[in-house]
Amino acid sequence: APRIGILGLQGGVREHATLVESLDAQPVQIRKPADLLGPDGARVDALILPGGESSVIDRLARMFGLDVPLKELIGQGLPTLGTCAGLILLAKNIENPAPGQQSLGVLDITVNRNAFGPQVESAEADLATEWGAIRAAFIRAPQIVSVDGVDARVMARFGDAIVGVEQGNVLGVSFHPELTGDTVLHRRLLELVG
């Protein structure tokens, strides 16, 4: 079974693991660089960066020395899905970072971290996306304010807002598919594993 590394520092890790298991893949919690390699030294087959608080995940990832290997592996083509805070971690530009907040910079987009504001703190919606129909949960969701490279394709919108992109091996969405149990993006990730 493909081994799917889930960055397990903070946030919605368990829900992603449950979805991965339901698709007959094996979730692997990533908390330190060695977790990216299996007992046989083979690296994970894909990565998921979950939602949570992006500034906290960023700080912990750098503290545990995960930022460099993550950036390298994703740059080398490891299939990767970022949801909500995970999308912010992938983004090249953050419009409104927390003090000192950095990102992996592997997705050519600019994000606004809390774009939808308190009036839409949280919402569920059925989205018609380029990946297929998705039941999405938005929780203090970031918005993709611009796509800054020709390689990043807009895949999903919520009203006028861009909420999903795909760039080569990288999938990023503003919302949480794992909270509604929607498997479309996880199946797309497994498809990229091949």
Residues noted as catalytic: 84, 176, 178
52 is in an annotated binding site: yes
38 is in an annotated binding site: no
Q: What is the distance of C-alpha 53 from the center of its chain?
A: 12
Single residue of 84, 127, 152, 156 touching ligand GLN by CB under 6 A: 84
Site for ligand GLN contains 114 (CB under 6 A): yes
With CB under 6 A, what is the number of residues at the site for ligand GLN? Answer: 12
Closest CA relative to residue 175, chosen from 135, 145, 146: 135
55 is in an annotated binding site: no
Cβ contact 174:129 at 8 Å? no
53 is in an annotated binding site: yes
In whole angstroms, give the CA distance from residue 83 to residue 80: 10
Alpha helices in the chain (DSSP H): 13-22, 54-63, 67-75, 85-90, 184-193
User: In degrees rounded to 5, what are phi and psi of residue 109?
Assistant: -140, 160
Site string for ligand GLN, 21-60 (x = CB under 6 A): ------------------------------xxxx------
In whole angstroms, give the CA distance from residue 59 to residue 157: 29
Give the three-state DSSP class for 154: strand
140 is in an annotated binding site: yes
Site string for ligand GLN, 88-107 (x = CB under 6 A): x-------------------
User: Please, which of residues 117-156 interact with ligand GLN by CB under 6 A?
Assistant: 139-140, 142
Task: For ligand GLN, give the closer residue by CB, 140 or 157.
Answer: 140
Closest CA relative to residue 91, chosen from 140, 47, 147: 147
Q: Which residues contact ligand GLN by CB under 6 A?
A: 51-54, 84-85, 88, 113-114, 139-140, 142
Residue ranges of the binding site: 52-54, 113, 139-140
Binding-site residues from annotation for L-glutamine: 52-54, 113, 139-140
